[in-house]
Amino acid sequence: MPKIVDARGRSCPEPVIMTKNALESNPDEPIQVLVDSQVAVENITRFATGKGYTVDREKDGEEYILNIRK
Amino acid sequence: MDGKRKMFISGGIIGLIATILMKFGNPGNMGFCIACFYRDIAGALGLHRAPVVQYIRPEIIGFIFGAFIIAIAKGDFKPRGGSSPFIRFFLGFFLVIGALMFLGCPLRMILRLANGDLNALTGLIGYLVGIFVGIQFLKKGYTLGRSTEQAKISGYITPAIALVLLIFLLVKPAFIFFSTEGPGSMAAPIALSLIAGIIVGIVLQRSRICTAGGFRDAMLIRDYHFLWGILGIFLVNLIANLVLNFQSFNLGFVGQPIAHNSHLWNFLGMVLAGICSVLLGGCPVRQTILASEGDTDAGITILGVIVGAAFAHNFGLASSGEGPTTNGKIAVIIGLIVVLTTAYSIVKQANQIRYEKKEGVNNA
């Protein structure tokens, strides 16, 4: 079960910081980030892919689930 | 098209339109100034009575319409709120106190620099220092809390206010004030300003350009994506000014339009604006776009900006071409103390909660 980072409702740039902290504490473990805005999806995807991770996104109603792994 | 190029072009469109608005009558180096424009709107509504800065700026109305329409079309429109609105109000309030000390929002700071006003360089250094300070709080766990979904109608309030302002602008009822001299009287034609605002509102909404975000992300996560947008605004505005407004291009510190060269206070004013922008999650122009997308917290922030701008003139806090005022200096110092205390208190509480949670786990 991947670690879940719940960044829903957080204003910019908190979702990216939360993702960054989670990845830095366990660099090789996959994580799942929950967000609810398209901007957060774009920012986290740009950050994680820039660090060499792959990001899969699932849309769940108004929310997004980002699966991030090496 | 790759991200950087898209950002640069988006910024370039904003820079070019700013030059055109100045060419057609906007005040010097003020193609856009979010702080000044809200200040002018506050004056037009009679919230302050400084006769030289009263006008309902159509650019702001255009920003809101453009961002609102494109957000609905692209599925970004989402009524949300409830993330410390009262704190946001005061961050908006003090942000504009800082900006009116410097005489411009961060966007006008870039435009001033692109027209040769080197005082904006002092302002930029201050802004960067402010952003750096704000980032230290973010790193230590600063948060204004989650926003949640709000009643649908709340998302329509900001566009509705813009519509009412447009009606006031066109009908010109007796209770609305319009400057007959000074910066408030200098304006491009209404239709041009409105269309320019709509285009820029669309560009800002789609690109998510934010002057604070650009520098913040570069410092915080080494992400230069939004910085390309800021560079686009600066470079295209610079070139367009040299071509279209060459007679007003003036490299130096003195004789700059709607500016002063009190370096310390230009610096400190923008330190305050920088801290507030990071603590809010975006600069004034970004707050305007977010408010248009249904973010009611950004809407409250804008109200804080408008009220702050009104106080800035009622209490003699805003600078003029002659320089800063004593009251303004006191207000900037108070602003710095208030926002730093607020941020410190939030960080302390957040860490306390985290510590207690950890203790709870260890004791379980």
Ranges of each domain in chain B: 3-363
CA distance B3 to B18: 23
What local confidence, expressed as pLDDT, does residue B301 receive? Answer: 98
B328 pLDDT more than 70: yes
d(CA B58, CA B7): 25
CB B15 within 8 A of CB B115: no
How far is the C-alpha of A44 from the C-alpha of A61, rounded, in Å? 19
Residues B170-207: pLDDT tens digits?
999 999 999 999 999 999 999 999 999 999 999 999 99
Q: Which residues of chain A does B146 touch, with a Cβ-Cβ cutoff of 8 Å?
A: 8-10
| A21 min Cα distance to partner chain B (Å) | 10
Q: What is the pLDDT of residue B356?
A: 84
The 8-class DSSP code of residue B323 comes to: B
Question: Which pLDDT does position B353 carry in this prediction?
Answer: 85
Q: DSSP assignment of B56-108, as one string?
A: --HHHHHHHHHHHHHHHHTT----EE-SSHHHHHHHHHHHHHHHHHHTS-HHH
CB B36 within 8 A of CB B53: yes
> For residues B285 and B211, is the Cβ–Cβ distance under 8 A?
yes
Distance CA B86, CA B82 (A): 9
Closest Cα in chain B, distance from residue A33 (Å): 15
- C-alpha B320/C-alpha B312 separation (Å) is 11
Taking only the tens place, the pLDDT of each residue in A5-15 is: 999 999 989 99
Strands A31-35 and A63-69: antiparallel
Q: To the nearest 10°, the Cα dihedral for B78, B85, B347, B101?
A: 110
Closest among B14, B12, B11, B2 to B199, alpha carbons compared: B14
- Backbone φ and ψ for B21, nearest 5 degrees, come out as -65, -35
Task: Inform me whether the pLDDT recorded for B121 exceeds 60.
Answer: yes
Adjacency order of strands within the sheet including A31-35: A3-6, A31-35, A63-69, A54-60
Is A52 near chain B, with CB under 8 Å?
no
In this prediction, residues B350-358 reach a mean pLDDT of 84
3-state secondary structure of B209: coil
Token couple for B19: 């030059």
Q: Which of A39, A42, A47 sits opposite B221 (nearest CB)?
A: A47
In the predicted structure, residue B363 carries a pLDDT above the cut 60 = no
Unique residue bearing structure tokens 């830095």: A24
Is A12 catalytic? The answer is yes
Crossing angle of helices B296-314 and B34-44, in 10° steps, is 70
B135 to A34, B201, B280: CA distances (angstroms): 23, 27, 11
Which residues, 6 or more positions from B111, have their beta carbon under 8 angstroms from its beta carbon? B15, B18, B29, B30, B31, B32, B33, B104, B233, B237
In degrees and rounded to multiples of 5, residue B295 shows phi and psi of -80, 105
Smallest Cβ distance to B76: which of A8, A16, A38?
A38
Task: Give the C-alpha distances (Å, rounded to integers) separating B225 from B10, B124, B216, B217.
Answer: 12, 19, 11, 8
* pLDDT at residue B364 tops 60: no
Task: Give the model's confidence band at B10: pLDDT under 50 very low, under 70 low, under 90 confident, else very high.
Answer: very high
The predicted model gives B275-303 an average pLDDT of: 98
Structure confidence by residue, pLDDT tens digits, B220-257: 999 999 999 999 999 999 999 999 999 999 999 999 99
Q: What is the mean pLDDT of residues B95-105?
A: 98
Q: Is there a contact between A20 and B221 if contact means CB atoms under 8 Å apart?
A: yes
Residue A54: DSSP 8-state: E
Tell me how far apart the alpha carbons of residues B232 and B40 are, in angstroms, rounded to a whole number. 27
Contact with chain B for residue A11, Cβ under 8 A: yes
d(CA B58, CA B194): 5
The pTM assigned to this predicted structure is: 0.96
Contact list in A for residue B83 (CB cut-off 8 A) is: 9, 11
The amino acid present at A65, given as its one-letter code, is I
Residue type, B289: I
Six token digits for residue A9 = 């409702």
Q: What is the pLDDT, as a whole number, of residue B160?
A: 98
Any B CB within 8 A of A24 CB: no
The ipTM is 0.94
Alpha-carbon gap, residue B135 to A44, rounded angstroms: 18
CB B182 within 8 A of CB B52: yes
**pLDDT > 90 in chain A, percent:** 86
The full set of domains in chain A, from first to last, is 3-69 (3.30.110.40)
Residue with tokens 């507030």: B276
**Residue B337 in tokens:** 């103390």
Q: A10, B146: Cβ pair inside 8 Å?
A: yes
Is the omega angle on the peptide bond into residue A13 within 30 degrees of 0, that is, cis?
A: yes
